[in-house]
A and B are shown apart, each in its own frame.
Chain A
């Protein structure tokens, strides 16, 4: 790192979104990557089993979440995602679409809050980019999210009387 010019870079210690040279490869059979990716989606956004989701990462995996954090290592990812999701039981995840190229998997997800009776449904979107690293597990993930939009959506949800 040459300078701390970007919050993400400063937090990450690397060059940011989907840094190819470090993570991209087409060495894995496409069917193997897709099977791991489907499992990742099933336990995470599908079933909200965040312990099992953390197990989808390699021991030395890195997860960059641009709003607040960078988590280095599977146990750090677990220690972050399990409580944060436990604190948001009303949030569900709708996968709009996903794509795979080589070991790079991307997904577009709606983060949707429980309906407040008689009020419009509130959701915000994010994109996740994950890199498969063999053995059915992922070695890197980065989420792209507009935090301004997200914060406004969540503030509106709570103003309408929504619960976490």
Chain B
């Protein structure tokens, strides 16, 4: 038996997912970063390691601002009650401009729960080459759709 119940971790995770969706809708990730403890560590295998809530907030806002509309449907998640962890596969999905989507790439995440709806650790891993390729194809589709609607 871990420090927190499965139900509490599940509920905190659903809150985290909902807050991310609100961040996408509002174009502001500050409230989402607020779900991390002040001394949280965020290991992003592509962008680096961010120490503390402030650093996480600054980075997530800067990295998401050029990608409005990118959202993160959860494919699956595992609650590890003993360790207080959540492991998940999330899609990083762009809006579908031409009905040929989904335009998306998958990423793996580990979250460590810290109580009170807060997280002390996140680690993300994915293949950046696949993201680049997906974004390239998406941008072409997006441009083509905009061109079609303008003419």
Residues of A bordering B, CB below 8 Å: 2-8, 16-20, 24, 66-67, 97, 99, 101, 104, 106, 108, 125-127, 129, 144-149
Contacts and interface: CB of A to CB of B under 8 A. Distances in A.
Given A5-B134, A6-B104, A106-B87, A146 B76 contact: no
A7 B105 CA distance: 9
B46 A6 contact: no
8 contacts: A6-B104, A17-B108, A127-B125, A144-B108, A146-B45, A146-B125, A146-B127, A146-B128
A18 B127 CA distance: 15
B49 to A, nearest CB: 12
B127 A145 contact: yes
Contacts of B129: 7, 147-148
Contacts of A17: 75, 89, 106-108
Contacts, number: 83
Interface string B86-120: 01010000000000110111111010000000000
Which 6 pairs show the lowest CB-CB distances between chains A and B?
A17-B106, A5-B137, A146-B45, A144-B108, A101-B78, A66-B127
Nearest to A67: B127
Given A3-B100, A5-B103, A144-B108, A104 B76 contact: yes
A125 B125 contact: yes
Given A6-B105, A147-B129, A148-B128, A18 B76 contact: yes
Contacts of B127: 8, 66-67, 144-147
Contacts of A129: 89, 108
B126 interface: yes
B80 A99 contact: yes
A20 B75 contact: yes
